[in-house]
């Protein structure tokens, strides 16, 4: 039965993992996401038999994910920025070996040890590679606790559909704040033998999970195959939300929790008679380039707002191709912009002259 | 015509045709074709990997577990172990074989899981994973090939390189004052409560090959009984990077490696 509860983002995420029949979680404590590991440790095994293991490091946990994901089961890990950095080598292996799994990054302020407050400084790392080589993760950015929950099951579906790791890019605020959330019904943990998984040799020769090919011709073929898959993902899996963009003169682009703050700023602008809309990419990879390109044809300007020094704004500019001015406002190191601050930036860059 | 050629000629005259000998009734020993691929060997002549792969395959075949075993290959010379072993395998990142094996075993506890790792992989970059896997007592078999050198990358100093031993990164010989001491990681994991059976073997002589094979067999048996981590070190050679012939390398192994890494059980199950 569906259930409505007031829950903390990290705990809701863990609950969603249990409910969607996740088979195993491997993780390591790090603020602000430790509640995921804690909640799962207390609840998961006794409810569904799900494996929960606290690893000795994020390096170990992502490689446990790699091993376990090779069997075709539903496997996940979560961490926060420095821990996700440690995982990058493993993520590159997982992407090349085409293993489905879910990785959650509850983004905190960086660089370095940084802070434990929310940030979006890991956008580049998430969507442009992060580890070595040409690979892509499917990246989903929730803006509420509800979406965090909904994206868990969606992530597993996408991961298995494309045999590709999926990253949920949350942040320290989404992980820590409490919101009303509708939880999905408990799915049974079932297992289907997959024709690529290594669970003990079946008919024919032994299967191999690997990302190695010493012959450059073969390795290029593997790359071409991956690229073909990424084009398919770009065709099918673009997700975004538009709020009052149809008649807008100005658009704010933002993802995650910041987009909700921007919606408040847009309301303030509307109350003063300015037609401002908000465009929120939900899938950061694949990025909604075409939709932004289409929107940019009929507007006077875009303000991109992020909790970083300007990362997604590069993709926005690529999409706009100079058709409209793109301005940027960012806060860093764990600082969250206020609606008033964003509204003032709108005034400064665009609305002041519009009066 | 010298004496040696005359002998050879005689030898060829007396040779018996192969097909008259190689009949089914006469076979007393053959490769475990159900587990080993018939494929050209990429390991250097005289290298211990070939023998170790062979006995591992023999044990898998004899125990009848070919459909229930999942292996983890490391980064290093044996990264291509799956080109020889016809079983399901995962190739792990450098040093992470025991973490990957942990992941597999935790979601498929009824399967036999082993990792096969070299000294650089297991005792340098993967030390953390090795110790914690053993300390958790993961029900897996770790096979550790110790030849005191980085083979695949061309002969650099390994964590197990002996004092004074030359490598491309210790060209004057390993100076323990500046380069540290060889790590007896097998002794270390034997101290951990999670390990059940820890032994050090070699494959440089037939008698040692038989003992090493027995150890692998025992380890899989213990894994079936969920006893904890089994850890088998194979003290091995690297003729190419030691810059020796295979025979010289085995002699050097016996005179230098084995005194530092003495063979035998370090931890045996309590009776």
At B140, which CATH number?
A: 3.40.50.970
Q: Point out the residue among A51, A60, A200 whose CB comes nearest to the CB of B69.
A: A200
CA distance A69 to A316: 34
Whether the predicted pLDDT of A336 surpasses 70: yes
Give the pLDDT mean for B188-204: 98
What is the residue-wise DSSP string for A225-246? Answer: HHHHHHHHHHHH---EEEES-T
Give the pLDDT mean for B113-132: 98
Element (H, E) at A6: strand A3-8
Question: Are A101 and A163 a contacting pair, CB within 8 Å?
Answer: no
CA distance A128 to A173: 23
Has residue B220 been placed in a domain? yes
Which one of 3.40.50.720, 3.90.1300.10, 3.40.50.920, 3.30.930.10 gives the CATH number of domain A240-354? 3.40.50.920
Q: Is cis: bond before A111, omega within 30 of 0?
A: yes
DSSP state of B68: T
Q: Rounded to whole angstroms, what are the CA distances from B15 to B21, B22, B26, B30?
A: 11, 14, 17, 22
pLDDT digits (tens, 9 = 90+) for A36-46: 999 999 999 99
A 53-82: CB under 8 A from B? 53, 55-57, 59-61, 63-71, 73, 75
Nearest-neighbour CA in chain B from A92: distance (Å): 10
Tell me, letter by letter, the H, E, C secondary structure of B108-122.
CCCCEEEEEEEHHHH
Whether the predicted pLDDT of B3 surpasses 80: no
Q: Which of A273-287, B29-43, B213-227 has the lowest mean pLDDT?
A: B29-43
Whether the predicted pLDDT of B4 surpasses 80: no
**Which distant-in-sequence residues (6+ apart) come within 8 Å of A130 by Cβ?**
A84, A88, A91, A92, A124, A137
DSSP state of B254: I
Give the pLDDT mean for A55-67: 98
Whether the predicted pLDDT of B229 surpasses 60: yes
CA distance B98 to B122: 8
Number of structural domains chain B divides into: 1
CA distance A214 to B42: 13
Q: Structural domain of residue B129, as residue ranges? A: 34-267
pLDDT range class, residue B6, cuts 50, 70, 90: low
**What pairing do the DSSP bridges indicate for beta strands B69-73 and A301-306?**
unpaired
Whether the predicted pLDDT of A329 surpasses 90: yes
**Which distant-in-sequence residues (6+ apart) come within 8 Å of A133 by Cβ?**
A92, A95, A96
Closest CA to A14 of A123, A105, A137, A148: A148
Q: Among all residues of chain B, which has the CA nearest to that of A208?
A: B89
**Could you give the percent of chain B with pLDDT greater than 70?**
94
CB atoms B70 and A60 under 8 Å: no
DSSP state of B125: I
Whether the predicted pLDDT of B167 surpasses 80: yes
Query: What pTM was estimated for this model as a whole?
Result: 0.95
At residue A144, the 3 state secondary structure works out as: coil
CA distance A11 to A99: 26
Has residue B11 been placed in a domain? no
User: Half-sphere exposure (CA, 13 Å, Cβ side) for B198?
Assistant: 20
Whether the predicted pLDDT of A1 surpasses 90: no
**Could you give the percent of chain A with pLDDT greater than 90?**
98
Mean pLDDT of chain A: 97
Give the pLDDT mean for A170-180: 98
Give the pLDDT mean for B5-32: 73
**Which distant-in-sequence residues (6+ apart) come within 8 Å of A264 by Cβ?**
A339
The rounded radius of gyration (Å) of the Cα atoms in chain B is 20
Q: Check residue B1 and give its pLDDT.
A: 47
Q: Which residue has the higher pLDDT, A142 or A352?
A: A142
Question: Given CB atoms, is A3 within the 8 Å cutoff of chain B?
Answer: no
CB atoms A207 and B88 under 8 Å: yes
Q: Check residue A222 and give its pLDDT.
A: 98
Mean pLDDT of chain B: 94
Q: Rounded to whole angstroms, what are the CA distances from B269 to A31, A222, B135, B209?
A: 41, 46, 16, 22
**Which distant-in-sequence residues (6+ apart) come within 8 Å of A155 by Cβ?**
A102, A138, A140, A166, A168
pLDDT range class, residue A346, cuts 50, 70, 90: very high
CA distance B11 to A50: 67
User: Half-sphere exposure (CA, 13 Å, Cβ side) for A61?
Assistant: 29
Domain boundaries, chain A: 3-197+206-236, 240-354
ipTM of the complex: 0.96
Closest CA to A13 of A206, A211, A147, A199: A147
Nearest-neighbour CA in chain B from A228: distance (Å): 24
What is the residue-wise DSSP string for B5-51? Answer: HHHHHHHHHTPPPHHHH--GGG------TTTB------SPTT-HHHH
Nearest-neighbour CA in chain B from A68: distance (Å): 4
Has residue B7 been placed in a domain? no
Give the pLDDT mean for A322-332: 98
Q: Point out the residue among B89, B93, B100 whose CB comes nearest to the CB of A208.
A: B89
Handedness of CA A302, A305, A309, A310 (dihedral sign): negative
CA distance A25 to A39: 11
Q: Which of B4-8, B36-40, B181-185, B189-193 has the lowest mean pLDDT?
A: B4-8
Which one of 3.40.30.10, 3.40.50.300, 3.40.50.970, 2.60.40.1180 gives the CATH number of domain A3-197+206-236? 3.40.50.970
CB atoms B103 and A205 under 8 Å: no
Give the pLDDT mean for A206-231: 97
Give the pLDDT mean for A342-350: 97
Q: Check residue B21 and give its pLDDT.
A: 79
């Amino acid at each position: 039965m569906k259930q409505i509860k007031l829950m903390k983002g990290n705990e809701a995420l863990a609950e969603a993992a249990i409910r969607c029949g996740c088979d195993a979680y491997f993780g390591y404590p790090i603020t602000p996401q430790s509640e995921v590991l804690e909640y799962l440790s207390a609840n998961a095994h006794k409810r569904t038999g799900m494996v929960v293991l606290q690893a000795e490091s994020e390096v170990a946990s992502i490689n446990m994910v790699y091993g376990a994901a090779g069997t075709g089961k539903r496997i996940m890990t979560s961490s926060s920025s420095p821990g996700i950095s440690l995982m990058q080598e493993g993520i590159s292996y997982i992407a090349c070996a085409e293993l489905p799994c879910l990785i959650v990054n509850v983004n905190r302020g960086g660089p370095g040890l940084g802070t434990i407050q929310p940030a979006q400084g890991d956008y580049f790392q998430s969507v442009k590679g992060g580890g070595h080589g040409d690979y892509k993760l499917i990246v989903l950015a929730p803006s509420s606790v509800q979406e965090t929950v909904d994206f868990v099951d969606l992530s597993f579906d996408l991961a298995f559909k494309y045999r590709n790791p999926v990253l949920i890019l949350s942040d320290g605020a989404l992980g820590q704040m409490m919101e009303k959330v509708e939880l999905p019904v408990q799915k049974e943990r079932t297992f289907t033998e997959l024709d690529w998984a290594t669970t003990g040799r079946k008919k024919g020769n032994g299967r191999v999970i690997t990302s190695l090919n010493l012959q450059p011709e073969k390795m290029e073929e593997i790359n071409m195959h991956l690229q073909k898959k990424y084009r398919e993902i770009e065709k099918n899996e673009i997700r975004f939300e538009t709020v009052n963009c149809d008649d807008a003169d100005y658009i704010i682009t933002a993802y995650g929790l910041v987009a909700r703050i921007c919606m408040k700023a847009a309301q303030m602008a509307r109350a003063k008679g300015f037609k401002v809309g908000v465009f929120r990419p939900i899938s950061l990879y694949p990025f909604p380039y075409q939709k932004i390109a289409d929107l940019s044809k009929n507007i006077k300007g875009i303000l991109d707002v992020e909790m970083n020094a300007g990362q997604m704004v590069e993709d926005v500019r690529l999409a706009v191709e100079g058709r409209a001015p793109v301005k940027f406002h960012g806060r860093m190191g764990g600082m969250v912009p206020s609606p008033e601050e964003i509204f003032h930036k709108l005034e400064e860059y665009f609305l002041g002259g519009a009066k | 015509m010298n004496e040696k050629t005359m002998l050879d000629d005689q030898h060829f005259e007396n040779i018996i045709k192969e097909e008259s000998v190689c009949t089914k009734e006469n076979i007393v020993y053959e490769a475990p074709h159900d587990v080993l691929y018939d494929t050209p060997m990429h390991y250097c002549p005289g290298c211990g990997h070939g023998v170790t792969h062979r006995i591992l395959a023999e044990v898998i075949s004899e125990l009848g577990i070919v459909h229930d075993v999942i292996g983890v290959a490391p980064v290093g010379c044996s990264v291509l172990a799956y080109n020889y072993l016809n079983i399901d395998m995962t190739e792990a990142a450098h040093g992470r074989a025991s973490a990957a094996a942990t992941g597999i075993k935790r979601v498929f506890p009824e399967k036999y899981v082993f990792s096969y790792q070299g000294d650089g992989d297991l005792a340098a970059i993967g030390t953390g994973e090795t110790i914690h896997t053993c300390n958790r007592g993961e029900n897996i078999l770790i096979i550790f090939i110790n030849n005191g050198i980085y083979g695949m990358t061309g002969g650099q100093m390994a964590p197990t390189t002996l004092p004074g031993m030359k490598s491309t990164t210790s060209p004057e010989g390993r100076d323990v004052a500046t380069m540290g001491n060889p790590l007896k990681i097998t002794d270390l994991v034997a101290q951990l409560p999670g390990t059940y059976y820890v032994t050090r073997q070699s494959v440089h002589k037939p008698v040692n090959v038989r003992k090493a094979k027995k150890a692998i067999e025992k380890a899989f048996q213990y894994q079936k009984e969920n006893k904890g981590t089994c850890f088998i070190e194979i003290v091995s050679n690297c003729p190419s990077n030691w810059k020796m012939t295979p025979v010289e390398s085995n002699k050097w192994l016996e005179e230098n490696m084995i005194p530092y890494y003495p063979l035998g059980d370090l931890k045996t199950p309590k009776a």
